[in-house]
Amino acid sequence: MGVARSFDMSCTVPQRIVSFTCSNTEILFALGLGAQVVGVDDWSDFPREVKTLPKVGPDLKIDMTKVAALEPDLVLASLSVPGMERNLPGLERLGLPFLVLEPRSLDDVFKDIETISAATGVSESGRRLIADLQARIETVRERAHETIDRPTLYWEWWPKPLISPGRWSWMVQMSELAAADLLFKDVEATSFVVEESQVFEQDPDLVMLCWCGTLQEKMSVSKVAERSGWERLRAVKQGRIHCFPEDLFGRPGPRLVEGLERLAQIVHPELFPDAPASLSVRSRVGACQ
């Protein structure tokens, strides 16, 4: 997707960067720019070094006074967070240079890495990072497409109301790479409210939970299995309900590829008998009971 900017990419390489979103924070650190990051939003928590950085507020309620005090020469934001646009007038009012990204797919993430690496003077690091991520994706694609079996999966971002990804979500592309068919992939939306009757009608092979924000800690297989009527679903009968960490699927940055590796391993365990080395216990997949 497009990039909004007030930042002149032909000027001096920025040395004081503030990030308003987890995804951009993770891109910056993956590019080796941690030393230039002087502030982040409250939700940014990866890698570990981020936790000691000054916080400028939650992504939808950024404290512009705190931002200005950090004297940034580049601010990064992303419209992948609905409502992020509310922060832009404050940046314009303060005259702070910014880049606003809007990723919707893995390809968009690669473009964002290109944009950020070019803006920060580390284009070669950007190319190396993209090449590494693309190689890992290709490994998943080749192995997953050894099978003709393409199970259907229902992905749930939110339980009340039910919210699922639509056509404009990177989850469509990730499901295809893992040789699976995402329910509602033709709905013209990034995400939308789903009626239970729609899930019942599709009767998916797998139910995937990836609840957002604070609901991650409340996510459980039993809560889905105990929903009225859901016991009739094929996935529930066969015990194919899985929990996923939002940080590997809800943040359009480099770790989406780690999420893809985990997704493929869950969808096709016969093809991925061993979890990829990049997966950590921090992912919490399978620990949601």
For residue 277, the model assigns a pLDDT of 42
Where do the structural domains in the chain lie, given as residue ranges?
4-121, 150-283
Q: What pTM value is reported for the model?
A: 0.90
Shared fold status for 4-121 and 150-283: yes
Residue type, 157: W
Task: Output the pLDDT for position 214.
Answer: 78
Q: Are strands 206-209 and 4-5 parallel, antiparallel or unpaired?
A: unpaired
118-151 CB burial, b ≥16 within 10 A, e <16? ebbebeebbeebbeebeebbeebeebbeeeeebb
Domain 4-121 belongs to what topology?
Rossmann fold (3.40.50)
Domain 150-283 part of CATH 3.30.9.10: no
Q: What is the pLDDT of residue 216?
A: 86
Provide the residue-wise pLDDT of the chain in tens; the chain has 289 residues: 545 555 566 568 999 999 999 999 999 999 999 999 999 999 999 999 999 999 999 988 999 999 999 999 999 999 988 889 999 999 999 999 999 999 999 999 999 999 999 999 999 999 999 999 999 999 999 999 899 999 999 999 999 999 999 999 999 999 999 999 999 999 999 999 999 999 999 999 999 999 988 788 889 999 999 999 999 999 999 999 999 999 999 999 999 999 999 999 999 999 988 754 433 323 334 334 4
pLDDT attached to residue 6: 59
Cα 287 versus chain centre, distance: 20
Distances (CA, A) of 132 to 37, 56, 110, 160: 23, 32, 11, 38
